[in-house]
Structure 1
Amino acid sequence: MADVDVPVGKKAFVPLENNPEVMTSLVHELGLSKGLQWHDVYSLTEPSLLEFLPRPALALLLVFPVTDTYEKFRVEEDSSKEDYSGSGPDEPVVWFKQTIRNACGLIGLLHSITNGGATDYITPGSPLDQLLKQAVPLTPVDRADLLYNSKSLEAAHATAAAKGDSSAPDAEASVDLHFVAFIKDKDGNQWELDGRRKGPINRGKLGPEDDVLSEKGQELGVRAFLQREEQAGGGELRFSVVMLGPSFE
């Protein structure tokens, strides 16, 4: 269900498990410095659990089941927008359109590590560095083709997908969980990045003291999302959040 916009018959990946160890292994293999890793966010409100996390939070990945409420909101919000056509070094963010089925986890990871403060941790000459340099000048359509045809990206994803704690579903399986990334760019804007949308979405300005897990960051990002879903559904929302931040080591 999460990849309904990606036609059947297109390339499909084994879905990536929402597991910080798996995600960390994948981004390190691609070429992100070991100075960063993914962390479970066990609570968005409990101070003691938030204080435990190393900051700044450079990106958040929200994982949630695709509901009718979300689909209605997504379609309505996108209806007034043109398909994003940006490219080049002056883009505020690098956005990837998803054309691989069950690859929303991979797209979310890429959005998290190719934007904002995480770019300072990309190892020169690594597969990630090369991919980003190739992607930046391209249009969204050509950028999607770059990911679709990348053998190194496909191999790294396959290795990571096989490392999960649970039994991985088949690549062609219908999966109802979806990943959305929130990042802060170097000008202080918070972006919602989702390969199923028409393009990147600027959710507002953060102060110098704010990261995407701060009160303001949550207000513009994950909290606004969750409140909308809870109000419409009237019940408990099943979701999880992982954070990209400094390594404990």
Structure 2
Amino acid sequence: MTASRWIPLENNPEVLNSWAYKAGLVSSDSGFSDIYGFDDELLGMVPRPVKAVLLLFPISSAFEERRKEEDQKIIDEGSLNDKGVVLWIKQTISNACGTIGLLHALLNADVSLDPDSPLAKFAKECKDKTPEERAKFLETTPLFASIHAEAASTGQSVVPTDLDTDLHFCCFVEVSVDGTSHLVELDGRRAGPVDRGVCEDLLIDTIKFVKDTYVAKSASIHFSMTSLGPPEF
């Protein structure tokens, strides 16, 4: 990790939309909304169509073991990043997983961006760069550091003095792979994008995967999810 360290973001729509709209997401087109639970009634409240899902989860020893195994498979066999069908960024800034998750969501989803915005400029600069080069550009560009700090200060919690945290963001998007829709997990701490298989409904398939793979194997209650879709205005 670089010496650079940011304030952790909260996974709530107020914070995420503050970041996204300052960075260039067109507010009349899309926004982030809470996913309050896994049952059908609560999922029915999520604005559709869902274009990306952000998950905030507690890092555990069991998760780290699974991550190492999957990362080694990615290193050995390659990933969707090599096919150029998804834009993935390696995380090198401590506590920047919220911004990395937002970038993964907004740059891989079908959303409208202000063409002169930081998001549009970042996408243009990073299009032909490697994930490591994208990470270095994020470290050195002023495009997002101040936006991240402003968004972090709009949350419901007091800004922590101890910036160490075991909570981490990842993003789920739907990607076309050889003409078939796949559920893809994007996490800057990984060795690359993780293909989670054929996707028929982004929200439902993500919920099932998170329940089976994250929640069911953890004793923690510190999970939260938000969706990117039509704005709730």
TM-score (norm 2): 0.90
- Code of the residue aligned with 1:182 in structure 2: it is F
1:44 counterpart = 2:38: yes
Decide whether aligned partners of structure 1 residues 58 and 80 sit closer, same or farther in structure 2, where only a CA change above 3 A counts: same
1:228 shift after superposition: 4.9
Say whether the 8 Å CA contact 2:173–2:185 is kept in structure 1: yes
1:205 counterpart = 2:198: yes
Percent sequence identity is 38
Among residues 177, 182, 188, which one is paired with 2:172 in the alignment?
182
Among residues 14, 32, 57, which one is paired with 2:7 in the alignment?
14
Partner of 2:212: 224
Cα distance between partner residues in 2 of 1:49 and 1:68: 30
- Code of the residue aligned with 2:52 in structure 1: it is A
Q: How does 1:26-65 map to 2 (within 5 A)?
A: 26-34=19-27, 35-45=29-39, 47-65=40-58
Tell me the SS of whatever aligns to 2:214: helix
Say whether the 8 Å CA contact 2:80–2:195 is kept in structure 1: no
1:153 counterpart = 2:132: no
1:86 shift after superposition: 7.8
Partner of 1:127: 118
- Code of the residue aligned with 2:207 in structure 1: it is Q
1:248 counterpart = 2:229: no
Say whether the 8 Å CA contact 1:183–1:191 is kept in structure 2: yes
Among residues 223, 227, 232, which one is paired with 1:239 in the alignment?
223
Say whether the 8 Å CA contact 1:115–1:183 is kept in structure 2: yes
Say whether the 8 Å CA contact 1:180–1:192 is kept in structure 2: yes
Q: CA RMSD in A?
A: 2.1
| Structure 2 residue ranges without an equivalent (≥5) | none
TM-score (norm 1): 0.84
1:112 counterpart = 2:102: no
Cα distance between partner residues in 2 of 1:238 and 1:32: 28
1:178 shift after superposition: 0.6
1:77 shift after superposition: 1.6
Q: What is the count of residue pairs matched by the alignment?
A: 228
